[in-house]
Structure 1
C-alpha cells in the first residue's frame, strides 16, 4: 500500500508541475484518455448494433413462424372442408415452419423460460405442431373427419396452449430489447460526449493553463532579469574598471605591478625606444626584520613610503613598479649612475611611520638595454639576478648585470638539483679536524666539517655548496646527514678504544631555527650511543640577531637543558651584541682565524686579551681557530686560551685518515715545533 501511495504521489506531482518541459506529460495523458474513449465508443456501438441486428432477425423469424403457423392452420381447415385434397401445400408450409423454427431456436432473444416452454426437450409446442402437421400431410385422401381432428389439435396448440401468444410475446420482447439497446446507445453516446467534454476541459486545465502560467512566470522572470541586468550594468562597469586596476596595479602602494611593467617594456620595444633605457631592480635589505620587530602594519607603511620616494625619483615618462614583497623596479631614460645616486639619496634618511623612525637600506641590480627586441620577462629576470647577487655581497650594495651572473645562477640551480641526490646517497661526508689543549698538548675534541665528493667537480668545500643548500631548503637535512655519519664514525673509534670522542657539530641558522631540532638530535644520539657530554653544537653569530625570543634562542635553551654544550663560532667577525653572551646559555666561544693570524702583534694581542678576559668573566671556554705556528699557540696559552685548532696541528681529514691520525696522536701530547732559524755563514 505504501508503494502504491508513493508512486501515486509522484505521478500527481509530475502532472501538477508547471514547468514547460513537463507539459508533454500532460499531453500524453490527455491523448491516452481520448484514445481510450474512442476505442470504448467503437466497441460499444458495434456491440449494440450487433444486438439490434440479432433482435431484428429474431423478430423477422418469429413473425415468419407466426405466418407459417397460421398458414398450416388455414391449409388444415381447407383440407377439412375438402377444398384442398393434396398434401403438397401443407408439406410446403410445414417445411417453411421447420426452417423458421430452426432460425428461431438460434435467436438469442428468448428467455430461459420461453426456450424451455417452446423449444425445450420435453414435448415442446413447436414439435407438437410439426408432428400434427406432418400427420396431416401423410393422411393423403383421408376423410374430412380425420382432418377435422388434426385441425382442432393444431388450433388448440396455436390458440389455447399459447403457441401464437408465445410467438407474439417473443417478437414483442425482441422489439423491447431493440428499443432498450437504442436507448442504451443514445445514453452511451451522450456519456461519451460528456466525458470528451470533460477530457477537453481537463486538457485545458492540465496543459493549456500550466502552459500559460509557465509562460507568464518565464516572462516575469525575464523582465526581472532584464531589470536586474540593467541595474547592475553600472556595477559591472565599475567592477571591470576595478579588475583592470587590480590586474595592472599593486593594491598596497598603488604602483604598477609586474604585468604593467612588462606591458610598458613591450610598448617601448614597439616604439623602438628601448635602447638606452636603464632598468634598476631595488630590493630592500632586512625588510623581514622590520616586519618581525615593528609589525606588518609598519612594514606595509614602510613599503608605501618607499614606493612614494622612488616615484619621486623619476619623471612622468618613466615607471616605478612593485614586483615583489620588498622589491621595486625603476625604468628610466636617465643614466644609471644618476638614478642610483638619486635612489640612495631618497632612502638615506629613516622613514617616519606612525611616529616611529625606521631606517632602511637597499641593494640595487641594474642593466642598460641595448636593443629594441629584448623580452621584458628576461629583462626583469636579469635585473633580479643582479640584485640577488648584490644582496649576497652584503647590505646596501649595487651591482650591474653581467652574463656571467646568469651563468652563475644556472650553475647554482644545477648544484641545487644535484645536492638532494648527494645528501640521499651520502656523498656529502664528515671530515674531522683535531682540537688540542694548549696547556698539555692532549687531544680535546674534533670539529666536524662538511665535504662533498662531487662526481665531476671533485672535492667541494662548504663555501661552494652551502649557499646552494640554503637556497634549496636542504641545509637542515644536510646537517643532520653529516651529524649522523660523524656520530657513527665516533662510536666506532670509541669501540676500538682509540679515543673517547668529543665532536663539535656545526649548525646552520636554518638548522638551529628548526622546530624539530632537539627531537631529531636526541634520536640520532640515542641510536649512535654517544652521550650528551660528547656532543657540542656550534652556532654562528648571525643566528642570534633575531633576539632571544625566536625559535633559535628557544632551541639553544632546550639544548642546554638537555646537557648539550653550545659554542659561538667565528666570534669577532659578526655583530652579535655582548648582551647575547649573557642572555644565552653558551659554554664557549671560538676566536675567528682573522684574529689569531696577526698574533703576536700588539693590536691583535689587545683584542684577543680583551675577548679572553670577557670570556673568563662570563665563564666561557675559548677555542682559537687558525693556529699555524707555535708562537701563536704559546701566546694564546699564556693569555689563558684553553683550546686551539688549525693547520699547525692537523688539517681536516676524512674519517679513515682521521682514524690513522688518532692511532698515532690520540694518547700522545702534541706540540708545535718552533720554527727553525737559519743562520747564514759569513763570507
Structure 2
C-alpha cells in the first residue's frame, strides 16, 4: 500500500513538474501564433496601404488621363477656329496622354475586369485610345485648311466612347480597391478574434499593439477614402467647368460652333426646331478695328455685338459666337423682321471704353424645316450665303439658294483647272488699241486676259480672275500673259507691222511679289523688246494695300529700269493724292464710268478737274470707254492725250489684232461704231 502511495505521489510530482513545461510550451506556441498573427497583420496592413497608395495614384493618373483627353479635344477645336499653326503644346499634351496611359496599364492593381476593359474582345479602351492618338497626330501634322475633318473625327472618337471608357477606368480602379479592402477586413476580423482569444488566455499585452496597429491602418484607410471622395467631387466640378468651356466661347460667353451644331442636331433628331432660320452675322472690315485700335477694343466690340445680337432674339432662340467675327442665330421668328432688327442694332456706333466705334455687318441665312439637310450642311450653306454677301461689298443680306452653291462649285472647279490652263497656254493675251486723240494715230495697246477653256469656251476675266485670286495663281497668270504678249509684240516689230507699245495689267498680288522685278526683267530681256515699249498698269488698291511696302519698292525699281507705270481705273477708288506724288507714275487711266456720260456738264466738271490735277503732277491721261467721235473730240479739247474703247477697237486675239494693225497701224483713226465691228 505504501508503494502504491509513492507511485501516486511520483505521478503527481511528474504532473506538476511537467505542467510548467507544458504551460511554457503552450505559451510559446500561443506567443508564436500571436506573433505570426501580428506579423501577418502588419504585412497585410502595409500591403493594403501600399495597395491603397497605388490605387490612389492609379485613380489620380486616370483622372489626369481624362483631363488630358479633354485638353486635346479643346485645343484641337481652338486650333481649327483660330487656324493656329504652333502645335508644340498640342503635341506635348498628346505625348503626356500616351505616357499616363502607359502608367495606368502598368499599375500593380490589375484584375480580369480591368484587363478585359483595357484589352478585351470587341471595342476596348486600348483600340479607341490608339485611334484617338493617331487622329490627334494626323491633326497636328495637317495644314490648317485640312484640320476641320480631322477635328470632327477626333471629337467623334472622344465623345462616342473614349470619354466614357476613361471614366470607367477610374470607376473600375475604385471598385478593385474597395473589393480588396472588404477582403482585408474579413481577414482582419478573423485574426483579431484569434489574437483576442490567445491574448486573453496567454498574452494580453500582445493584443494592444496589434489593435493599435489595426486602428492606425483603419484610420489611414478612412483618410485615403475621404481624400479620394474629395478628389472625385473636385473632378466632377472640373468636368462641369470644362464642359461649359468646351461648349461656350471664352470671350463672349455665348455658345460656340460646337454648341450650335449640337443644338441643330438635337433639334433635328427630336423634331423640336420645326420651321426656323439660321442666320450667320459677319462683321465687315473687323480687322481694321484690331489694326487701328488694338485687340482689346476688338475683343470688347465682339462682346458688345454678342450682347446686342442676344437682345434681338427671344429666350428660346439661340445666339452663338462661332469664331472670329462671325455670330450665328437660330430663331423661329419671321426672318425679315429679325434681320431688320439685327441691322438696326448696327445703325449706331458701339460705345467701347469711352470711344464710339461704328461697325456694320453682312448676313447670310437659310430657312430650316423638319425635312432640312444635316446640321453641318445647313451651316455650310449659311457660310456660303454670308461669303457671297461679303464679297458683294458687305452690309448686305443674302439668302442661300442652290445657285450660290453651284457658283461656288464652278469657282472651285475653275480653281482646279487654272493651274493646267496656265501651263498649257489656255490663258491668252488679247489686245485693245489705244489712240492719240490729237492726231488719231495708234499710241499703244492694252493687254487683256482671256481663257479659252476646253469645255466652257471663251471666258472673260470677270469669270476666272476671282478664281485665280482665291487659288493664289494671280502671279503666275500675270507672268504667263506678259510673256505671251511680249512675244507677239516682238513678232509685230520684226515683221515691221508696228513698233509696239503694250500696257500690261499687274494684279495687287503680282506687284507685291518680292520676286516680281527679276521675273519681269528676265521676260522682257528674252522677248527682245526695249524698256520704253512696255507699260505696267497698277490698281489704286495696290497703292493702298501693298504688303510691307513691297509694292512701292517694286514700282520704284521698275521706274528706275525705265518702265513706265500707269494708275488704272482712276476715279473709282480711294488712292490719296500723297500716293500720286510719292510714286513715280507716268500716267493715269480715266475709268469708263467718268467718260460714258460726256459731254454731260457734271461729268465734264469731274473730268476737267482730274485732267488739271494730272497736268500739275506731270502725268499723261488715257480715257477708257471711248465709243463715239464726239467723246474723243471732247476729251481732246480738254487736254486728254489718249483714248481707248470700242470706238477705236474692241479687245482682239493676237491673230485678229495683227490684221487690224495691218490696216490701221499707220493710218489716222476716228472713233465710231465701224471700228468696233472690225473682224
If the length of structure 1 is used for normalisation, what is the TM-score? Answer: 0.63
- The whole-number CA distance in structure 2 between the counterparts of 1:616 and 1:262 is 60
- The whole-number CA distance in structure 1 between the counterparts of 2:456 and 2:585 is 38
- The whole-number CA distance in structure 2 between the counterparts of 1:296 and 1:373 is 38
- The whole-number CA distance in structure 2 between the counterparts of 1:468 and 1:348 is 34
Contact 1:548 1:554 survives alignment (8 Å): no
For the residue of structure 1 that corresponds to 2:323, the secondary structure is coil
- The whole-number CA distance in structure 2 between the counterparts of 1:528 and 1:358 is 53
- The whole-number CA distance in structure 1 between the counterparts of 2:673 and 2:396 is 44
1:399 aligns with: 398
- The whole-number CA distance in structure 2 between the counterparts of 1:356 and 1:523 is 52
Query: Deviation at 1:635?
Result: 0.9
- The whole-number CA distance in structure 2 between the counterparts of 1:431 and 1:374 is 45
1:491 aligns with: 490
2:57 is equivalent to residue 225 of structure 1: yes
Query: Deviation at 1:373?
Result: 4.4
CA shift in 2, pair 1:283/1:544, >3 Å:
farther
- The whole-number CA distance in structure 1 between the counterparts of 2:55 and 2:387 is 60
CA shift in 2, pair 1:553/1:233, >3 Å:
farther
Contact 1:597 1:626 survives alignment (8 Å): yes
- The whole-number CA distance in structure 2 between the counterparts of 1:315 and 1:568 is 52
Query: Deviation at 1:636?
Result: 0.7
1:500 aligns with: 499
1:378 aligns with: 377
2:279 aligns with: 280
User: What are the equivalent positions in structure 2 for 1:185-584 lying under 5 Å apart?
Assistant: 222=54, 225=57, 230=228, 233=232, 236-546=235-545, 550-584=549-583
Contact 1:570 1:591 survives alignment (8 Å): yes
Give the count of matched residue pairs: 465
Task: Pick which of 349-358 and 323-332 moved more.
Answer: 349-358
Contact 2:447 2:485 survives alignment (8 Å): yes
Deviations 1:338-359 (A, max 9, x none): 2112111222222344444332
CA shift in 2, pair 1:540/1:227, >3 Å:
closer
Deviations 1:128-158 (A, max 9, x none): xxxxxxxxxxxxxxxxxxxxxxxxxxxxxxx
Deviations 1:316-352 (A, max 9, x none): 2111122232211111121112211211122222234
Contact 1:319 1:332 survives alignment (8 Å): yes
Instruction: Give the unaligned 5+ runs of structure 2.
Output: 1-42, 62-227, 675-679
Contact 1:386 1:405 survives alignment (8 Å): yes
2:594 aligns with: 595
Task: Pick which of 533-542 and 464-473 moved more.
Answer: 533-542
Contact 1:438 1:633 survives alignment (8 Å): yes
For the residue of structure 1 that corresponds to 2:418, the secondary structure is helix
- The whole-number CA distance in structure 1 between the counterparts of 2:558 and 2:49 is 75
1:609 aligns with: 608
1:631 aligns with: 630
Deviations 1:428-487 (A, max 9, x none): 101111111111222221101000111222111111111121222222221121111112
CA shift in 2, pair 1:441/1:368, >3 Å:
same
- The whole-number CA distance in structure 2 between the counterparts of 1:339 and 1:513 is 43
For the residue of structure 2 that corresponds to 1:323, the secondary structure is strand
- The whole-number CA distance in structure 2 between the counterparts of 1:318 and 1:412 is 35
For the residue of structure 2 that corresponds to 1:386, the secondary structure is helix
Contact 2:648 2:672 survives alignment (8 Å): no
- The whole-number CA distance in structure 1 between the counterparts of 2:545 and 2:290 is 12
- The whole-number CA distance in structure 2 between the counterparts of 1:323 and 1:216 is 52
- The whole-number CA distance in structure 1 between the counterparts of 2:588 and 2:443 is 15
Contact 1:548 1:584 survives alignment (8 Å): no
- The whole-number CA distance in structure 2 between the counterparts of 1:427 and 1:661 is 23
- The whole-number CA distance in structure 2 between the counterparts of 1:573 and 1:236 is 62
2:617 aligns with: 618
CA shift in 2, pair 1:528/1:224, >3 Å:
same
CA shift in 2, pair 1:263/1:531, >3 Å:
same
2:24 aligns with: none
Instruction: Give the unaligned 5+ runs of structure 1.
Output: 1-210, 676-683
CA shift in 2, pair 1:651/1:372, >3 Å:
closer
Deviations 1:168-214 (A, max 9, x none): xxxxxxxxxxxxxxxxxxxxxxxxxxxxxxxxxxxxxxxxxxx99x9
CA shift in 2, pair 1:292/1:509, >3 Å:
farther
Contact 2:591 2:625 survives alignment (8 Å): yes
Whichever of the two has the greater Rg, that structure is 1
Deviations 1:571-604 (A, max 9, x none): 2222334343234332211111121122122222
Deviations 1:214-249 (A, max 9, x none): 989975962672685647646644553344234322
Deviations 1:240-289 (A, max 9, x none): 33442343222332222211101111222233232321211111112233
If the length of structure 2 is used for normalisation, what is the TM-score? Answer: 0.64
